[in-house]
């Protein structure tokens, strides 16, 4: 699937758990909607998350993220985990992302293949090459036009992970979304380092934004990067 001049714009958000992606996606979507009303440039975004996004994907998500699921199903092998992440991704590309791009829409996706490279490739130790090979085979190598990487300082990110981990230990019963959050420090160090390496490897696609600044500052940076990508679709207008 090669990018053609007529298609929409595919923007992904990446970062370790708790990096503020979800808040920033909401902020960017609001900003695009304001421009959409003002300029009528088909800027209302299509928003989805991975894993999830489609009905099938939400079921896959429930398996992948529930920290209690292994009590019933046995340990999920890292390769199974990788395959499920890509099963979810394949479905959302065919059902949501590609049709939206064909309709020249802006797609905002909360996580994509960089997450698989960081979490399964580095975190689980499967290696980048294997993940990228699966991406080429399953996703027809569909690449984002822009990736916003919110990367907090490694130690700050680890402290947050530790706090979440503690909270996780105190929770009892019911399905949750904590299976990854329960991972240890070494896992998260590898995830962090992999994200930094991806940004370095692909500076034209990946906009690295310091995730430690306040929400407003980060939101303005995200808008600036996206405005540059959208070019003439968003006229420079300090009033918006």
Does 57 bind ligand TYD (CB under 6 A)? Our answer is no
Does 152 bind ligand TYD (CB under 6 A)? Our answer is no
Let me know: does 52 contact 61? Beta carbons within 8 Å: yes
Tell me the window of 14-22, 155-163, 206-214, 220-228 that interacts with ligand TYD (CB under 6 A): 14-22
Does 60 bind ligand TYD (CB under 6 A)? Our answer is no
Does 171 bind ligand TYD (CB under 6 A)? Our answer is no
Measured distance CA(65)–CA(178) in Å, rounded:
6
Does 121 bind ligand TYD (CB under 6 A)? Our answer is no
Under DSSP, the state recorded for 233 is: G
52: left (phi over 0), alpha (psi -120 to 50) or beta: left
Nearest distance from residue 235's CB to ligand TYD, in Å?
A: 33
Q: Residues 198-225, buried b or exposed e (16+ Cβ, 10 A)? A: bbeeeeebbbbbebeeeeeebbebbbeb
Rounded (10°) CA dihedral 159, 164, 169, 175: -160
Does 85 bind ligand TYD (CB under 6 A)? Our answer is yes
Measured distance CA(169)–CA(1) in Å, rounded:
44
Q: x/- binding map, residues 200-219, to ligand TYD, per CB under 6 A? A: --------------------
Tell me the window of 16-24, 30-38, 97-105, 205-213 that interacts with ligand TYD (CB under 6 A): 16-24
- Residues near ligand TYD (CB under 6 A) are 17-18, 21-22, 50-51, 65, 85, 110-111, 115-116, 119-120, 180
């Amino acid at each position: 699937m090669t990018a053609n001049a007529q298609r929409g714009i595919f923007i992904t958000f990446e970062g370790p758990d708790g990096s503020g992606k979800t808040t920033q996606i909401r902020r960017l979507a609001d900003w695009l909607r304001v421009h959409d009303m003002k300029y009528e440039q088909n800027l209302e975004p299509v928003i989805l998350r991975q894993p999830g996004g489609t009905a099938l994907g939400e079921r896959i998500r429930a398996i992948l993220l529930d920290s209690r699921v292994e009590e019933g199903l046995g340990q999920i092998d890292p390769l199974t985990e990788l395959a499920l992440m890509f099963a979810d991704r394949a479905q959302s590309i065919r059902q949501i992302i590609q049709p939206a791009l064909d309709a020249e829409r802006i797609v905002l996706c909360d996580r994509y293949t960089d997450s698989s490279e960081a979490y399964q490739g580095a975190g689980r130790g499967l290696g980048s090459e294997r993940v990228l090979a699966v991406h080429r085979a399953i996703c027809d190598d569909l690449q984002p036009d822009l990736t916003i990487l919110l990367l907090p300082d490694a130690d700050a990110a680890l402290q947050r992970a530790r706090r979440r981990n503690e909270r996780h230990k105190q929770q009892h019963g019911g399905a949750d979304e904590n299976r990854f959050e329960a991972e240890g420090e070494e896992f998260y160090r590898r995830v962090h380092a992999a994200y930094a390496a991806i940004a370095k490897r692909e500076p034209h696609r990946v906009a690295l934004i310091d995730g430690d600044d306040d929400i407003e500052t980060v939101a303005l940076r995200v808008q600036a990067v996206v405005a540059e990508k959208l070019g003439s679709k968003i006229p420079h207008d300090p009033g918006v």
